[in-house]
Amino acid sequence: MNLRKAITMSLLAATLSLPVAAMNLNEAMSALGQAKASGQVGEMANGYLGIVKNEGNAAVITQLINDARKKEYQNLAKKNGITLNDVEVMAGQKAQEKTPAGQYINVGGKWQKK
Amino acid sequence: MRIGLLSISILLTGFLAACTPTVKVEAPSEPININLNVKIQHEIYIKVDKELDNILNSSSGLF
């Protein structure tokens, strides 16, 4: 009986923790706006998302979004015969410009509210 | 009178010959390079800029 309870509990725990671990890109994209608005993540100058406050799904969202961004950047670089770094810098500038006031951007290695 | 005219024309011919300017056109010793890479590179950046705008617009959801 105790064993069964333990198994049930661990199964329940596994099920509950599953949504965070198994977040997919679509879910990350849906959650991105809220994560930005709540100041968990912000735009870095290198074209990628950075973690401002590591809470909630900030780390998972950042990882998934950045992987997908990198693929897009690599495509653009390859298609146009320029370096990945060139694309990253251009994207970083645009993303920071596009960031609405009140959200975080990383300038010179420091987070600041725009 | 005829001799005078002749001598004037001879003089004039000589004078003109002496005054013919000498213009020398020399090819440069080094080949002329016109660098078109600048323009091409610029066009590529404009193109990438536009494509980045498309990615950044909400439809992709990555930003």
- Directed axis angle between helix A25-37 and helix A58-80, to 10°? 110
Position A64 pLDDT exceeds 60: yes
Nearest to B48 among A30, A69, A76 (CB): A76
**How many Cβ atoms from other residues are within 10 Å of residue B13's Cβ?**
10
Q: Which amino acid would we find at residue A48? A: Y
Distances in Å between the Cα of B17 and the Cα atoms of B6, B10, B24 are: 16, 11, 17
Condensed to tens digits (0 to 9), the pLDDT of residues B2-43 reads 556 666 665 555 555 666 778 888 887 888 888 888 888 899
Position A80 pLDDT exceeds 80: yes
Position A58 pLDDT exceeds 90: yes
Confidence of residue B44 (pLDDT cuts 50, 70, 90): very high
User: What would the mean pLDDT of A87-94 be, rounded to a whole number?
Assistant: 97
The conformation of residue B60, written as its DSSP 8-state character, comes to G
pLDDT averaged over chain A? Answer: 89
The predicted pLDDT at position B38 comes to 82
Between β-strands A104-107 and A41-44, what pairing exists: parallel, antiparallel or unpaired? parallel
A94 and B CB contact within 8 Å: yes
Residue from B21, B34, A112, B52 nearest A43 by CA: A112
User: Which contiguous run of DSSP H or E holds residue A65?
Assistant: helix A58-80
pLDDT: is A90 or A21 the higher one?
A: A90
B62 and A CB contact within 8 Å: yes
Contact present, A60 and A20 (Cβ < 8 Å): yes
Cβ-defined contact of A65 to B62 (cutoff 8 Å) = yes
User: What would the mean pLDDT of A69-85 be, rounded to a whole number?
Assistant: 96
User: Which contiguous run of DSSP H or E holds residue B59?
Assistant: none
Position A56 pLDDT exceeds 80: yes
